[in-house]
Amino acid sequence: MAGLNKVIKFSSQQSGAFNDINNIVTFNIPADGSYDLSSSYVELNCRMSAGVQDTTDAGTGTAVYIPELSWYNTPYQVNNSMFVRRAMLRTTRQGVLEDSLRRDILSANLVNYTHTSEELSSLGYKSGTQHMNYDGVVSSIWRSFNQGGTSAGDAQSSRASTARSAPITIPLDQLLSLGMARQMPFGAMGGGQLELELNASITNSFADGNPVGWSTLTGPSIASTSSVIENVPSGTFAYGNSDAHPVQLTKKFVDRAEFPLHVGANVAIESTGGGGTGTLDAGAANLVITKIWFDADGTANLVMDQRVANLTAETLEDMMIAFAGALTPPLLTIDSANLVMKRIATPQPIQPQMTYLAWETEEYSQAGSTQLNHTFRLPANCMNALIMLPAGTGTVFDAPGSGISKLDDLATYRLSINNKPIVNRDVNVTNGIRNCLHYELLMRSFDAGSIPLKNIQEIQRLSPGLIADQVTGQNSTDREADIIIIGVPTEETATAKSLQVDLRTQGTEGAALLTNLVVFKQVVRTITI
């Protein structure tokens, strides 16, 4: 059928698996028409290993862990764009249109400002991080979980949960400013090429026992209120690893969306200090669920790979189930990369000139100090700038960790353009309490750069297992979830201009010090097609 848009997938010129050495991926875009970049994305096909079960008191089952992608094992949720350190788009006739350095830092921070809390939560289902539903149940794109059947004889009750490959998708508008273009005339431009530099530390290596690069965490503990064991009859039998004598939970799970366990879950049986008289087997510290079924009233029945207790005319009660961690966590592998693009069947007439915005990047570092005072050059076509403070050279977040622009102990900042203050006094953010000047600069900057500002909470989203910390957010004493972007509204000028940045902490030498700063300069560019 004529006149229909087509979605086309281009494979990278390089083959995987990708790692800290083989970390460049290139996609050739043919000169066969116009493409809608706003509907296009990069697809990294990944898999997560099973994880190694702790053999201490382990049974015979094979554990299927809930993996979570993290960067340097930080508690922050990973934005998919953090996979890409640098993105460059060029065409045959116009040359380099955009070369965006440290795109991981820029996108990882901006996503917290350009999306509402609800949007960030909703996007979690296709993220490499874990996703928690409103009932507190955690899931992952890396696993296909079986939560059981309707009876002990139901085949579904014992069907194994499995690991699966899954794509990490990164919209082009998170990698390039031109990624927002609804029509890019690659035909008139002689074709193009997209080159990406993946973050160098994706090999899951360990240095001195600390994870370097992409690593994983296991799922959160199950709340005792939803997992207390009950209804253990007295008698002489091995309890917990048979259909006749399963482990049962006190809470009724009529709604399966509330049920946090799966076949293959590595769990531990722990005492909650109740009045039970039964004695746990030593192996109860490390069990694998082999079967799950539900009674009509929602009672969850669990069969383990080994017995929980050997009871003789005793009753076992007031015990709690919790997730057990892997001895070696699951590890990430990127097997291949694709560029998925939408080709427009009937494009609009091509304009002779195209004006667009792009980002230029300047990084600055110094020995740790309570003050940072430096002058940056802004090109004549710069009409906006954003300042971010990743603590740790070469990282995306706060060391050890992440890419997020951290507030830490920043107390005040002052900005000037060509020695003329943007505001006539210090902007106070002492103890994380921002005054109105900070928000005014932020809103003026985002407006100047045509960046949607939807969220000024300035709290980095935490992993699902730390949701309680997320709720308290800025009230946290260590303020680990606080983030900050400093907006620098400016305008195009006839010549280059200087930006004077003066940052001060409230700490002393040895406390949180200023070390790294990145200035993202938003510039106006025009090309002739």
**Structure-model confidence comparison of residues 263 and 224, the more confident one:** 263
- Residues 166, 171, 175, 179, Cα dihedral to 10°: 150
pLDDT higher than 90, residue 309:
no
Measured CA to CA, the distance from residue 382 to residue 490 in angstroms comes to 7
Write down the pLDDT at residue 277.
54
Measured CA to CA, the distance from residue 77 to residue 465 in angstroms comes to 11
Segment 430-444 mean pLDDT = 92
pLDDT higher than 80, residue 289:
yes
For residues 43 and 167, the answer to whether their CB atoms sit within 8 Å is yes
Q: Tell me yes or no: is domain 352-529 CATH 2.60.120.
A: yes
Tokens standing for residue 116: 């509402």
Write down the pLDDT at residue 149.
95
- Model confidence at 209, in pLDDT bands (50, 70, 90)? very low
Write down the pLDDT at residue 212.
52
Segment 506-510 mean pLDDT = 57
- Residue 219's identity, in one-letter code, is G
Min mean pLDDT across 135-149, 354-368, 385-399, 469-483 is at 469-483
pLDDT higher than 50, residue 206:
no
- Residues 170, 175, 176, 178, Cα dihedral to 10°: 10
CB atoms within 10 A of CB 93: 14
Measured CA to CA, the distance from residue 262 to residue 288 in angstroms comes to 10
**Pairing of the two strands 266-271 and 427-428:** unpaired
For residues 390 and 404, the answer to whether their CB atoms sit within 8 Å is yes
Under DSSP, the state recorded for 313 is S
Measured CA to CA, the distance from residue 163 to residue 146 in angstroms comes to 11
Give the range with max mean pLDDT: 1-5, 50-54, 343-347. 343-347
Write down the pLDDT at residue 221.
42
pLDDT higher than 50, residue 395:
no
Residues 94-142: pLDDT tens digits? 999 999 999 988 988 898 899 887 887 777 667 777 666 666 677 788 8
Measured CA to CA, the distance from residue 322 to residue 267 in angstroms comes to 5
CB atoms within 10 A of CB 476: 14
- Model confidence at 150, in pLDDT bands (50, 70, 90)? very high
Q: How far is CA 124 from the centre of its chain?
A: 8
Percent of the chain past pLDDT 90, that is, above it, reads 44
* Dihedral sign (CA 386, 392, 393, 397): negative
Burial class (CB in 10 A: 0-12, 13-18, 19+), 225: exposed
pLDDT higher than 50, residue 165:
yes
pLDDT higher than 80, residue 175:
yes
Any residues with CB less than 8 A from the CB of 265 and at least 6 apart, and which? Answer: 63, 64, 66, 161, 288, 289, 323
Write down the pLDDT at residue 192.
97
Q: What is the pTM of this model?
A: 0.84
Of 182, 184, 173, the residue nearest 452 (C-alpha): 173
Any residues with CB less than 8 A from the CB of 371 and at least 6 apart, and which? Answer: 502, 503, 504, 505, 514
**Structure-model confidence comparison of residues 252 and 347, the more confident one:** 347
Which H or E run contains 205?
Answer: strand 205-207
Please tell me whether residue 252 adopts helix, strand or coil conformation: coil
Burial class (CB in 10 A: 0-12, 13-18, 19+), 471: exposed
Measured CA to CA, the distance from residue 29 to residue 176 in angstroms comes to 15
Q: Which residue has tokens 């959160």?
A: 220
Any residues with CB less than 8 A from the CB of 280 and at least 6 apart, and which? Answer: 269, 271, 308, 309, 316, 319
pLDDT higher than 80, residue 398:
no
Mean pLDDT over all residues of the chain? 81
pLDDT higher than 90, residue 496:
yes
Measured CA to CA, the distance from residue 277 to residue 108 in angstroms comes to 52
- Residues 365, 366, 368, 371, Cα dihedral to 10°: -100
pLDDT higher than 60, residue 467:
no
Write down the pLDDT at residue 415.
97
Segment 243-252 mean pLDDT = 83
pLDDT higher than 60, residue 216:
no
Of 298, 297, 305, 296, the residue nearest 246 (C-alpha): 305
The residues pairing with 527 across neighbouring beta strands, listed in sequence order, are 354
Measured CA to CA, the distance from residue 49 to residue 242 in angstroms comes to 30
Question: Would you mind telling me the total number of residues written for the chain in this entry?
Answer: 529
CA atoms within 13 A on the CB side of 26: 9
Measured CA to CA, the distance from residue 429 to residue 484 in angstroms comes to 10
- Domain covering 1-50+65-216+328-350, topology: Adenovirus Type 2 Hexon; domain 4 (2.70.9)
Please tell me whether residue 330 adopts helix, strand or coil conformation: coil
